[in-house]
Amino acid sequence: MKALALILVVVFFVLGLLYALGVIQVFTSAGHGHHIKHLILFWGLAVLSLIWYRFQVNARN
The string of DSSP codes covering 3-55 is HHHHHHHHHHHHHHHHHHHTS--TT-SSSSS--HHHHHHHHHHHHHHHHHHHH
pLDDT of residue 4: 95
Mean pLDDT per segment of 10 residues, for the chain of length 61 residues?
93 92 73 77 96 83 54
DSSP 58: H
pLDDT of residue 11: 97
Residue 31 CA to residue 49 CA, distance in Å, equals 29
